[in-house]
Amino acid sequence: MESTVQQKAAHVTTRRLLDMKSKGEKISVLTAYDYTMARILDRAGIDVILVGDSASNVFSGHNTTLPITIEEMIYHAKAVVRGVQAETGRSMVVIDMPFMSYQLSSEEALRNAGKIMKEHECDAVKLEGGRLIAETIKRITDVGIPVMGHLGLMPQSIYKYGSYKVRAQEEREAEQLLEDARIVEESGAFAVVLEKIPSKLAAEVTRSLTIPTIGIGAGAGCDGQVLVVNDILGLDREFHPRFVRQYADLSTVIGNVVGQYVRDVKDGVFPSSDESY
């Protein structure tokens, strides 16, 4: 009983993230989509685990984030929450609301955010957009569901923009983004992801908000950083964007391990007598 109380006390909350910003303590965020990875991330001390709709790309092999469904996101979210709970229980878990689960109306968005929160014990949902979804953010936060915003490169709008290039490089778009960030904060979001925008602009947004900014390809001036876990582990041999720091080459490591296993099985040297009953 005592240990359960201690675990809950350590759990990262929206309040804790605000404190971290005010103390200048950086916030670490990574994506995860399954139980095993969530256990590893929580044990390693990650502050926030994002069950990103990037699962559509890196888990399911789609070209974009658009095809993933709310049921699939809930499936990933349940596994991740179970992983965190099986370890220290410290990491906050945020779930991406998938494309078309919140854009039709604020009422439907609220229903779907509620569905995501009710299915498992996650902490918050994340939505892409600024002024256009202000009312939606307000309705969801008004009922007590924490919302993380997402501005800059918004992968769910990829067909509108036609490319994954850096956003808000021109003054007008930069001003709009700054304004959108203020609107997202005023609507009740507890944090906002800034994806692929110039570092100078991200630092300015960070200074002008009281809520934390979490950057991805947005420079060191943000209050925290998020990356896709598959990218830092080097699981994709072809994907090496400038904003990713690849800490390992697991694609090669796993390939070598599997190759060795295949040879051992073919050569009849696995299993040995020690590995048999």
The 10 Å CB-count burial string (b at 16+, else e) for 27-48 is: bbbbbbbbbebbbebbeeebbb
Site pattern 222..241 for ligand KIV (x: CB under 6 A): ----x-x-------------
227/31 Cα distance (integer angstroms): 7
- Compute the least distance from the CB of residue 243 to ligand KIV, in Å: 10
93 to 132, contacts with ligand KIV by CB under 6 A? 96
163 to 182, contacts with ligand KIV by CB under 6 A? none
Of 72, 107, 175, 195, which residue is the catalytic one? 195
Q: How far is CA 83 from each of CA 32, 37, 43, 242, rounded to the nearest angstrom?
A: 10, 8, 10, 30
Q: Which of 193, 197, 211, 233 is the binder for ligand KIV (CB under 6 A)?
A: 193
> Which residues, at least 6 apart from 244, have a Cβ–Cβ distance to it below 8 Å?
227, 228, 231, 232
Site pattern 50..69 for ligand KIV (x: CB under 6 A): x-xxx---------------
Stretch that binds ligand KIV, among 45-53, 131-139, 197-205, 238-246 (CB under 6 A): 45-53
49 scored as a contact of ligand KIV (CB under 6 A): no
Backbone angles phi, psi at 65, to 5 degrees: -85, -5
From the centroid of its chain, how far is CA 1?
Answer: 31
Q: Which of 20, 21, 31, 127 is the binder for ligand KIV (CB under 6 A)?
A: 31
- Compute the least distance from the CB of residue 31 to ligand KIV, in Å: 4
106/136 Cα distance (integer angstroms): 4
- Compute the least distance from the CB of residue 53 to ligand KIV, in Å: 5
Residue nearest ligand KIV (C-beta atom):
52
Identity of the residue, 168 or 193, whose beta carbon is nearer to ligand KIV in the bound complex: 193
Please classify residue 115 by burial: count the beta carbons closer than 10 Å to its beta carbon, then call 0-12 exposed, 13-18 middle and 19+ buried.
middle
Residue 238 annotated in active site: no
> Which residues, at least 6 apart from 95, have a Cβ–Cβ distance to it below 8 Å?
50, 51, 73, 74, 77, 116, 122, 124, 125, 126
Identity of the residue, 8 or 225, whose beta carbon is nearer to ligand KIV in the bound complex: 225
- Compute the least distance from the CB of residue 148 to ligand KIV, in Å: 9
Closest CA to 245 of 205, 215, 213, 203: 215
192 scored as a contact of ligand KIV (CB under 6 A): no
148 scored as a contact of ligand KIV (CB under 6 A): no
- Compute the least distance from the CB of residue 248 to ligand KIV, in Å: 19
14/124 Cα distance (integer angstroms): 9
Positions touching ligand KIV (CB under 6 A) are: 31, 50, 52-54, 96, 193, 195, 216, 226, 228
Residues recognised as catalytic: 195
